[in-house]
Amino acid sequence: MKRRRLKTGDGLDDEGFIVSDVNLKLIDDVYMPFIRESVEKLKNSFSRNLHSVYVYGSVAGGDAIQCKSDLDLLTVYQEQLSSDQSSHLKLLAEQLSYKANLLFREVGIAVGYYDYIMDPANYYEQAFLKELCVCLYGEDLRPRFGPYKLTPEIAISFNGDICDVLQRTMRRISIASDEEFKSIIQGFARKLIRTYYSMVMARSQIWSTRLNEQSEVFIHHFPMKEANVRTILNWAGGASIDRNICIKLFREEGQWLCENFFNEANKTND
């Protein structure tokens, strides 16, 4: 994909509102049969409770790399899932991940609830749905929400959980097999890039969901971080990883983000 030169206002309309860069038409045709099959399995398993199904991430943006990218699905339910239903959903995700090994690295199925999403107090859940998701099945809730500007509040709501994710990831890495390690690293590398970008989202006034572009936006504001960011970006794309080097860099960068994220994300200019 040709790299575009980013500038203030990219990804925004003339009034400064986010122009979503995910779309059903951007999803590669090679993925659609499996995506439709996944939706059918969800409909069959949760027919009375399932409200809608969305896809987000690189697949929704047309940037997925076969066998390296995840299929990220968001399922919205009318009522709270029972423990048995939650267990079934987890098993279904595992089964789909196994079946999709020639298409996706992994299939993830997130859970949301209609009443919670529709509550005006949950503004940031609505922004996530509006700007980052594509409806695959059911009532599309996105037209009810927005528009949204790039604000510190949006940035923090999208990636302000980095400290919790860092702690969980470090615990998982410590006991992971070699194959599990690679999968965990790729997922956390993507999380780090998105968090870097969220730190400078409001001040940059540039909207993008592409990891390489998010990296460039961050590096513009923190050039001293360029080497580490490019290394992590390579790991997110599946580059070979030395376990000791990776753990050391992730711990250092994760801690730096924990210490600086909220202060930096709240800035609207340099």
Q: Rounded CA gap, 196 and 233, in Å?
A: 11
Asked if 52 and 135 count as a contact pair (C-beta separation under 8 A), the reply is yes
In this structure, what token pair is assigned to residue 123?
């503004």
CA distances from 73 to 40, 56, 137 (A): 13, 6, 11
Three-state SS letters, the chain: CCCCCCCCCCCECCCCEECCCCCHHHCCHHHHHHHHHHHHHHHHHCCCCEEEEEEECHHHHCCCCCCCCCEEEEEEECCCCCHHHHHHHHHHHHHHHHHCCCCCCCEEEEEEEHHHHHCCCCHHHHHHHHHHEEEEEECCCHHHCCCCECCHHHHHHHHCCHHHHHHHHHHHHHHCCHHHHHHHHHHHHHHHHHHHHHHHHHHHCCCCCCHHHHHHHHHHHCHHHHHHHHHHHHHHCCCCCCHHHHHHHHHHHHHHHHHHHHHHHCCCCC
Q: Rounded CA gap, 202 and 218, in Å?
A: 11
Count, residues in the chain: 270
- pTM for the full predicted model: 0.90
Instruction: Provide the residue type at 6 as one letter.
Output: L
Residue 198: Cβ-neighbour burial (10 angstroms; 0-12, 13-18, 19+): buried
pLDDT in tens, the chain (270 residues): 445 678 999 999 999 999 999 999 999 999 999 999 999 999 999 989 999 999 999 999 999 999 889 999 999 999 999 999 999 999 999 999 999 989 998 999 999 999 999 999 998 899 999 999 999 999 999 999 999 999 999 999 999 999 999 999 999 988 888 888 888 899 999 999 999 999 999 999 999 999 999 999 999 999 999 999 999 999 998 887 888 999 999 999 999 999 999 999 999 887
Q: Rounded CA gap, 3 and 6, in Å?
A: 9
Asked if 212 and 5 count as a contact pair (C-beta separation under 8 A), the reply is no
Q: What per-residue confidence (pLDDT) applies to 1?
A: 45
Q: Rounded CA gap, 201 and 156, in Å?
A: 10
- Whether omega before 147 lies within 30 degrees of 0, making that bond cis, reads yes
